[in-house]
Amino acid sequence: MAVSAWNEIITELRVDRGMLLGNAQYSEMTGVERVKALDAIDDSIKTANEWVSYYAHERDKVQGGIRNIFKTRKIRRMNDEELGEV
């Protein structure tokens, strides 16, 4: 599924973020440089999370549609008495 690829990317980005924060060069950066470095990684994490949410929403939409198809088929097979009971 497409979500697993994005989850792997998120994991890698979080590792990259941790490595950046633990790097000696990060400590020597100016505030602006730190902001730019963290912003690039955090923005990528945010984008990846948005894709995970998008695919989860699309999956739920499709699964909901399939459930409705099965319900519709069941209702079509019901006679008047069975429909009256529902």
pLDDT, one tens digit per residue, over 9-19 is 999 999 999 99
pTM above 0.75, yes or no: no
Residue 66: predicted pLDDT = 58
Of residues 82 and 24, the one with the higher pLDDT is 24
Q: Cα separation of 77 and 80, whole Å?
A: 10
Residue 71: predicted pLDDT = 64
Q: 70 lies in which domain range?
A: 2-85
Q: Residue 52 contacts by C-beta under 8 Å, 6 or more apart in sequence?
A: 3, 6, 7, 10
Residue 13: predicted pLDDT = 97
The domain total for the chain is: 1
Q: Residue 50 contacts by C-beta under 8 Å, 6 or more apart in sequence?
A: none
Name the average pLDDT for the chain: 84
Q: Which residue has the tokens 């973020």?
A: 17
At 67, the pLDDT band (50, 70, 90 cuts) reads low
Rounded to the nearest 10°, the torsion over CA 60, 66, 71, 76 is 150
